[in-house]
């Protein structure tokens, strides 16, 4: 019945499909033009970037960061909506659908959304020529993994909330700092040593590093690092999904 | 228990629901037979909704026995829910989808094929008198229309039992009568209805049999008629006195009726002949501002059993 929960979101998505696809194209085009080409033309010290143009350095980082943002949004407001604003999850719980189906189906939907937006972003990267290796194609699953490492635990948290008031805090003090300081725009080696450790602990850093190692083709140089990134992110997805199943169940079944 | 050869669809013994220390449902017993319309009548907070949620397999039983269609809600929740229709107290429609989409996606939750869902949706739109609004968004619909859509939605899986939690609360009289008519048709088709209400007229219209709940317990059980016969008189005479007079009536009404009930705004005389009671009041020199003789209702039964009115 997981598929039926997914189908509900698909039915809703059909209404905004066109504008959503359009902005999925537009946003990377604007970012890569302004920051990659515009701002990047002033970046001369490319040695610290691994000897590649700034555009090539930036593009995979932005892809991973975009996946984080899309995932975080999809894991907050639509979840609250299902519990409170129109109680769709309560309606589902009265049918053969189980709370577990609702949690897993919601996460499956987010994974599908991420696949679509990441694929579009990757096409834009290729169009800009902002890659060094044909492995750029694997940036799609890497970005989806990055996004899901956020979506699963945030879904678990959202299912415990009675209103969206705390979501602003997540975005202001979680998502935005990560976006700026996890190696998306500059290597974390430019940060003070103490902050480098903090950056290394954040999931977005691992997502950015993994995605970048694929589009730059540097993954072969340090396969152990890639394994660490994948294990770290996958662990978050698994633990987060398990927690989400628990919190959704508790919310729907109550005492 | 009446002698009944067919096993009950719903069977509860010592059914209890606790939330921490709070006891919402306290060791209640009841059976619902196939094809029957069964009601839980009681004020807000009596435990009706908690009972419905346990039957609907969305809230675990704290203690006691509950069987729904011979199955255990704790173990066979999804299987039982597949054969239930649920009309919750608050609408859970997806306001961003159209009327028809609400029906079809809900049918999909039961594992029905798209073709089957489309066929049933057309039928149910007709039944709920919503065909003309089929492709409109749900949000701007009136309360009565939303309620009819919720009922139509609950029928998409052709349920054996329909659970209705306060189906007409908050609706205007016209919308309520239209809804009752639809529910009556379902009953004629043999659908088992289980409903909660705090409206006595609703219980009298729809229920073959009901239990009166108060403070988490069942305080009486029977058909609306038998409950009235057992706990009330045939007629009731309602007297309204000018302000200040009611407090001076001590003992002056004794012996006129089987029972006298003093409410804040009126006095009720329970007597088999209401007219005679009204005449007797006048003969004692009392001059109420208004006198109304009416038949006993479930409201009177509730007042007798609990000492309080149903609707505050």
Spell out the domain ranges in chain A: 2-253
Round to whole Å and give the CA distance between A242 and B222.
Answer: 48
Cβ separation A91–B93 shorter than 8 A: yes
Spatial separation of the C-alpha atoms in residues B240 and B226, rounded to whole Å? 29
Note the pLDDT of residue B5: 64
C-beta atoms of A1 and B88 within 8 A: no
CA A24 to chain centre: 14
What are the CA-CA distances from residue B111 to residues A9, A103, B93, B234 (Å)? 16, 18, 19, 51
Q: How far is A200 from chain B (nearest CA, A)?
A: 41
Does residue A18 sit at the B interface (CB-CB below 8 Å)?
A: no
Cross-chain Cβ contact A12/B82 below 8 Å: no
Per-residue pLDDT tens digits for A77-129: 999 999 998 899 999 999 999 999 999 999 999 999 999 999 999 999 999 99
Task: Quote the tokens at residue B149.
Answer: 């859509």
The residues with which B67 forms a beta bridge, in sequence order, are B11
- In this structure, what token pair is assigned to residue A108? 């499956």
DSSP states along A23-59:
HHHHHHHHHIIIIIIIGGGG---GGGGTSS-HHHHHH
Nearest C-alpha neighbor of B58 from the set B46, B48, B73, B75? B73
Give tens-digit pLDDT for A190-244: 889 999 999 999 999 999 999 999 999 999 999 999 999 999 999 999 999 999 9
Chain A residues close to B20, C-beta within 8 Å: 255
Contact A7 B108 (CB under 8 A): yes
Phi, psi of B245, rounded to the nearest 5 degrees = -75, -40
Rounded CA Rg of chain A:
19
Q: Where in chain B is the domain with CATH 3.30.70?
A: 233-295
Other beta carbons within 10 angstroms of residue B8's beta carbon come to 19
Instruction: Give the relative orientation of helices A54-74 and A139-158 as an angle to the nearest 10 degrees.
Output: 30
The angle that helices A99-128 and A223-253 make with each other, rounded to 10 degrees, is: 140
Yes or no, beta carbons of B96 and A94 under 8 Å apart = no
Where on the phi/psi map is residue A33: left (φ > 0), alpha (ψ -120 to 50), or beta? alpha
Whose structure tokens read 């009930």?
Answer: B261
Distance of alpha carbon A222 from alpha carbon A207, whole angstroms = 15
pLDDT < 50 stretches in chain B: none
Tell me: domain B233-295, CATH 3.60.21, correct? no
Q: Which residue of A has its CA nearest to B102?
A: A8
**Three-state DSSP class for B196?**
strand
B113 touches chain A (CB under 8 A): no
Say whether A96 and B20 touch across the interface (CB within 8 A): no
Flag if B94 and A93 touch (Cβ within 8 Å): no
The pLDDT, as a whole number, for residue B197 is 87
**A157, pLDDT greater than 70:** yes
- Residue B32 contacts residue B192 (beta carbons within 8 Å): yes
- Kindly list the residues from chain A whose CB atom is less than 8 angstroms away from the CB atom of residue B18: 255
Q: Which residue has the tokens 């996946």?
A: A67
Residue indicated by tokens 């675990």: B60
- Output the pTM of the full model: 0.89
Read off φ and ψ for residue B261, nearest 5 degrees. Answer: -120, 120
Q: How many CB atoms lie within 10 A of CB B2?
A: 6
A95, B58: Cβ pair inside 8 Å?
A: no
On whether any CB of chain B is under 8 Å from the CB of A16, the answer is: no
Say whether residue B56 is in contact with chain A using an 8 A CB cutoff: yes
Is the ipTM reported for this complex over the cut 0.85?
Answer: yes
B83 in contact with A, Cβ within 8 Å:
no
Paired with B86 in beta bridges are: B163
Asked whether the beta carbons of B284 and B252 are under 8 A apart, the reply is: yes
**Is A186:A179 a contact under the CB 8 Å cutoff?**
no
Asked if A201 is an interface residue toward chain B (Cβ–Cβ < 8 A), one would say no
- The pair of three-digit structure tokens given for residue A41, joined into one six-digit string: 């033309």
Contact indicator for A178, A202 with CB cutoff of 8 Å: yes
Q: Which residues of A fall within a CB distance of 8 Å from B111?
A: 1, 4, 96
Contact B41, B50 (CB under 8 A): no
Distance CA A129, CA A145 (A): 24
CATH H-level superfamily of B10-228:
P-loop containing nucleotide triphosphate hydrolases (3.40.50.300)
Q: For A58-125, give the DSSP string.
A: HHHHHHHHHHHHHHHHHTTHHHHIIIIIS-HHHHHHTTT--HHHHHHHHHHHHHHHHHHHHHHHHHHH
> Which residues of A, range 85-124, sit inside 8 Å of B by Cβ?
86-88, 90-98
């Amino acid at each position: 019945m997981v598929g039926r929960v997914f189908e509900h979101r698909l039915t809703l998505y059909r209404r905004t499909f066109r504008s959503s696809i359009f902005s999925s194209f537009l946003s990377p085009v604007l970012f890569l033009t302004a920051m990659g080409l515009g701002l990047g033309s002033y970046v001369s010290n490319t040695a610290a970037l691994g000897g590649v143009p700034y555009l090539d350095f930036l593009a995979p980082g932005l892809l991973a960061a975009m996946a984080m943002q899309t995932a975080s949004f999809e894991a907050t407001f639509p979840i609250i909506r299902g519990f409170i604003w129109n109680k769709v999850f309560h309606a589902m719980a009265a049918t053969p659908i189980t709370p577990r189906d609702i949690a897993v189906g919601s996460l499956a939907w987010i994974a599908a959304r991420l696949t679509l937006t990441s694929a579009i972003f990757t096409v834009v990267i290729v169009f800009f020529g902002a890659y060094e290796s044909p492995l750029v194609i694997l940036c799609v699953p890497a970005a989806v993994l990055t996004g899901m490492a956020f979506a699963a635990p945030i879904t678990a948290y959202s299912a415990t909330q009675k209103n969206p008031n705390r979501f602003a805090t997540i975005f202001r003090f979680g998502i935005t700092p990560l976006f700026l300081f996890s190696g998306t725009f500059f290597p974390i080696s430019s940060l003070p040593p103490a902050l480098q450790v903090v950056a290394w602990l954040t999931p977005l850093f691992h997502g950015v590093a993994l995605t970048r190692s694929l589009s730059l083709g540097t993954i072969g140089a340090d396969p152990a690092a890639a394994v660490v990134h994948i294990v770290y992110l996958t662990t978050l997805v698994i633990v987060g999904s398990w927690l989400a199943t628990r919190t959704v169940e508790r919310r729907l079944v109550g005492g | 228990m009446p002698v009944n050869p067919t096993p009950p669809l719903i069977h509860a013994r010592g059914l209890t629901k606790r939330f921490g220390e709070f006891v919402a449902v306290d060791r209640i017993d009841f059976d619902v037979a196939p094809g029957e319309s069964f009601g839980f009548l009681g004020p807000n907070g009596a435990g009706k909704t908690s009972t419905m949620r346990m039957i609907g397999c969305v809230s675990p039983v704290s203690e006691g026995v509950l069987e729904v269609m011979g199955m255990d809600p704790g173990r066979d929740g999804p299987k039982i829910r597949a054969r239930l229709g649920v009309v919750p107290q608050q609408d859970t429609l997806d306001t961003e989808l159209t009327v028809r989409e609400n029906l079809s996606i809900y049918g999909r939750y039961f594992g029905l094929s798209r073709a089957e869902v489309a066929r049933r949706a057309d039928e149910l739109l007709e039944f709920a008198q919503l065909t003309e609004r089929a492709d409109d968004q749900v949000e701007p619909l009136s309360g009565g229309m939303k309620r009819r859509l919720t009922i139509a939605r609950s029928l998409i899986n052709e349920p054996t039992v329909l659970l209705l939690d306060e189906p007409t609360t908050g609706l205007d009289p016209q919308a309520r009568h239209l809804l009752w008519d639809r529910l009556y048709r379902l009953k004629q088709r043999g659908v088992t209805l289980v409903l909660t209400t705090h409206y006595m007229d609703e219980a009298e219209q729809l229920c073959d049999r009901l239990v009166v709940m108060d403070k988490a317990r069942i305080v009486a059980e029977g058909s609306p008629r038998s409950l009235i016969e057992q706990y009330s008189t045939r007629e009731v005479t309602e007297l309204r006195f000018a302000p200040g007079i009611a407090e001076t009536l001590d003992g002056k009404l004794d012996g006129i009726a089987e029972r006298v009930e003093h409410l804040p705004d009126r006095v009720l005389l329970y007597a088999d002949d209401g007219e005679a009671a009204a005449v007797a009041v006048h003969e004692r020199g009392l001059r109420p501002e208004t006198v109304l003789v009416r038949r006993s209702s479930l409201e009177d039964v509730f007042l007798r059993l609990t000492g309080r009115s149903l609707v505050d």
